């Protein structure tokens, strides 16, 4: 009997440690929202998980993980005219400049530079078309069942779309890679063109990294159709939480921080409430 009571006591603590105020989250003005406790592998909240959405620059998670996995991150990439045919955000490369692939990956992930993402795609895939094919093949292989990529940047071109559930799959896959994780934790990255010595500074768009001490990545995104998007991760006291937020009319950073705080209920508070 005592063992049974202890079991239910521990179960109660575990449940309360990851409790979500669903009514409060229901009121958030966001198109779609997923909250997962990676430590317990539990979906804590789900809104419109299967809704077709524009992923915006969250797309660059796929772009960069493909580049990371192919290896040879120290090889040189020569910037071509095709790589520069993108819209802002851009680093401002010039045709003929040479960069280390690792720097381009960091520029695409940290500052979300579209010329960096395009340079990655063409250098890794050989052609833009081939790299897009690689993106879709990878998506299929990791279980993204309702996603179509048409470009490496996240532009709303053609049938470029995903779902919150698929983006969760992508994020969970990418964060298993230590190189990817190390990059998405960075507030900035300073690098130089190899042949012109021009200096570039990639500053993060992820304000959580400066505002919330437990934040550890992952990626922001925005287009006029997609709206403000965010995949955010935070870790505290053995808990590991991932948030997928699409087309938010809320302050993304404030909303994400409040969600994390709900998940990271201090153990002493849980005990006091029993």
User: Which residues are known catalytic residues?
Assistant: 57, 60, 112
The answer to whether 58 and 43 have CB atoms below 8 angstroms apart is no
CA distance 89 to 91: 7
Alpha helices in the chain (DSSP H): 2-17, 22-26, 60-70, 101-106, 114-125, 128-141, 164-174, 178-184, 208-211, 252-263, 267-273
Strands annotated E in 63-212: 76-78, 98-100, 188-192, 199-203
Which residues, other chains included, contact 210 with Cβ-Cβ below 8 Å and sequence gap of 6+?
A: 187
Cβ atoms 30, 251 nearer than 8 A: no
């Amino acid at each position: 009997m005592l063992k049974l009571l202890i079991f239910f006591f521990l179960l109660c603590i575990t449940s309360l440690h990851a409790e979500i105020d669903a009514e409060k989250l229901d009121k958030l003005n966001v198109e779609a929202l997923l909250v997962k406790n990676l430590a317990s592998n539990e979906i804590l909240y789900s809104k419109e998980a299967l809704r077709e959405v524009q992923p915006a620059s969250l797309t660059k998670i796929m772009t960069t993980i493909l580049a990371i996995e192919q290896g040879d991150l120290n090889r040189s990439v020569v910037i071509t005219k095709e790589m520069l045919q993108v819209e802002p955000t851009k680093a401002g490369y010039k045709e003929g400049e040479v960069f280390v692939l690792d720097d381009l990956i960091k520029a695409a992930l940290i500052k979300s530079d579209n010329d960096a993402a395009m340079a990655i795609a063409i250098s890794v895939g050989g052609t833009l078309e081939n790299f897009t094919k690689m993106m879709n093949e990878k998506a299929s292989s990791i279980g993204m069942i309702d996603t179509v990529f048409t470009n490496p940047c996240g532009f709303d071109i053609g049938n470029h779309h995903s779902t919150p559930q698929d983006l969760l799959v992508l994020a969970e896959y990418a964060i298993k890679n230590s190189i990817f994780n190390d990059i998405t934790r960075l507030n900035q990255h300073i690098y130089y063109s190899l042949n012109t010595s021009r200096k570039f500074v990639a500053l993060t768009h992820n304000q959580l990294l400066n505002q919330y001490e437990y934040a550890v990545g992952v990626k922001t995104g925005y287009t006029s159709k997609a709206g403000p998007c965010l995949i955010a991760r935070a870790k505290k006291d053995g808990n590991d939480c991932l948030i997928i937020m699409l087309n938010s009319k809320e302050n993304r950073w404030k909303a994400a921080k409040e969600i994390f705080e709900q998940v990271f209920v201090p153990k002493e508070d849980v005990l006091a409430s029993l």
